[in-house]
Every structure is written in C-alpha cells, then in structure tokens.
C-alpha cells in the first residue's frame, strides 16, 4: 500500500515493485561472499483487512499513521537471523482491490515461498471471501507444499468481532493452515505479528531446497536463481 509511515525500523525497506521480470530481481546490495537466502512471502486478502499494516508492523516495527489502497504491490524486506543464519524475508504487500491488482496477479504467485491469507475479524465477508483467495492461489499453480497461514486481523476491536475463533480455526484446519488472530494496531500484539512471518521463515529455512544460489550481478541489479524443493519440516 502506498502510505505515510510514522517511522521506519532499522534493517527494513519499503519500495514499490516495478519492472517485474521472470525472476526475482532486487536492487538491494548483497555481500558477494555470502550465500543469501531470500524468502518471498505474499500477503493476500480483501481490501482494508490490514495487509499493509501487518507487513509494516513486521518490517518497520510500528503501525502506519496513514495508509491508502495498495496499487499493484509494495514490497518490504527484513533481515532476520534464524539459528545463526542470516535470511532476508521479502514480504509482498498485494493490492486487495481488483482494479489495482489484475495486471499483477501472476507476478504475486511466481516463485512464491509462502502465503499469508488475511481477513478482518470484524468483517465476516472478508472471512467468507477467503475461499476465493485460496482458489486464486491454487489456480496460479502454487503447490500445496508451499506453507500457508491464516491471519485474523483487528482483534483490538473486541466489541465488533464477527468471526468467532472456532469458526476460523475449523477453516484453517480444513485448509492445512495455522491460524493467527492478532492486531497490527495494538503494540502488545507486535510479537504475535512477528511470529506469523518468523514461523514461516523457520519453516522455509528447514526447506534446504529453497536456497537461492548463484547470485549474478547485472547492471547493478541482483538476479537470483531458484532451486526445486526437496524437504520440509517446521519447528512451529
């Protein structure tokens, strides 16, 4: 989402994704001597459910003071360390509004490593629409081996909750997903938001196959190649 953020956390980056090509290209600087793993995690769901706020809470450590509808995609990244390995978590904040996403959809799903489906706990329709989002995801050839999690956002609005936890849990179980109920807004939920992405990063780290190797530099950009999947395990 295009936005005006109140603060930026160290080690995080936000930028509008432009000139997408068949492989993931980053203009960030990487150390030649270090083999870097980058995990592409996309965040999907209805407009206004809080995708931008969740991604910014994770990468920027704060709740944005103002947001506008995401156009296309914004991507943010955060360097994390898991069991001594430095990993870049690249979060794709996708547009929820059809008119702002239709030309981008195939780019969202290309070479994706994990998917975060978000609904708003105060809007039953955003929960009901999850079926459509999952259908879209499956329709773009995302393997069932790609980890997926379900996030119910805006839990701070306690009086307005429309989606009961047990209903969400049943849905998550039926789709082989973990469920996180949280709030991008409530600072006390900050760790819970982090755990959404860290849980996925831990699972992905265990997939040795998702190593991106052979970093080539082309005109100041970095081209990353992708290896096929081999194994999967998750400490979460």
Q: Does 70 bind ligand GTP (CB under 6 A)?
A: yes
Q: Which stretch binds ligand GTP (CB under 6 A): 27-35, 92-100, 139-147, 201-209?
A: 92-100
Note whether 95 and 47 are within 8 A (CB): yes
Binders of ligand GTP among residues 167 to 186 (CB under 6 A) are 183-185
For ligand GTP, give the closer residue by CB, 69 or 206. 69
For ligand GTP, give the closer residue by CB, 157 or 211. 157
H runs (alpha helix) in the chain: 51-60, 105-109, 124-128, 130-139, 165-174, 190-205
Q: Does 79 bind ligand GTP (CB under 6 A)?
A: no
Whats the size of the chain, residue-wise?
A: 236
φ and ψ of 208, to 5 deg: -55, -30
Q: How far apart are CA 186 and CA 155, in angstroms?
A: 9
Q: Does 67 bind ligand GTP (CB under 6 A)?
A: yes
Consecutive H or E run containing 118: strand 114-120
Among residues 95, 105, 114, 116, which is the contact residue for ligand GTP, using CB under 6 A? 95
Q: Which residues sit at the interface with ligand GTP, rule CB under 6 A?
A: 1, 47-53, 67, 69-70, 95-97, 153-154, 156-157, 183-185
């Amino acid at each position: 989402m295009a936005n005006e953020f109140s603060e930026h956390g160290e080690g995080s980056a936000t930028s509008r994704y432009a000139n997408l090509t068949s492989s993931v290209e980053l203009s960030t600087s990487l150390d030649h001597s270090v083999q870097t793993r980058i995990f592409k995690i996309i965040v999907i769901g209805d407009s206004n459910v809080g995708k931008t706020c969740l991604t910014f809470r994770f990468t920027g450590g704060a709740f944005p003071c103002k947001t506008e509808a995401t156009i296309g995609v914004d991507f943010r990244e955060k360097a994390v360390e898991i069991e001594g390995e430095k990993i870049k978590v690249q979060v794709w904040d996708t547009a929820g509004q059809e008119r702002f996403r239709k030309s981008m959809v195939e780019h969202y799903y290309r070479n994706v490593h994990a998917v975060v489906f978000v609904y708003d706990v105060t809007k039953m329709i955003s929960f009901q629409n999850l079926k459509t989002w999952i259908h879209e995801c499956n329709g773009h050839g995302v393997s069932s081996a790609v980890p997926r999690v379900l996030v119910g956002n805006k839990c701070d609005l306690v009086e307005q909750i429309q989606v009961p936890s047990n209903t969400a849990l049943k849905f998550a179980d039926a789709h082989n997903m973990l469920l996180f109920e949280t709030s991008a807004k409530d600072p006390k939920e900050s760790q819970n938001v982090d755990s959404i992405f860290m849980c996925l990063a831990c699972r992905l780290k265990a997939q040795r196959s998702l190593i991106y190797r052979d970093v080539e530099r082309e005109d100041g950009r970095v081209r990353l190649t992708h290896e096929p999947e081999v194994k999967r395990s998750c400490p979460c």
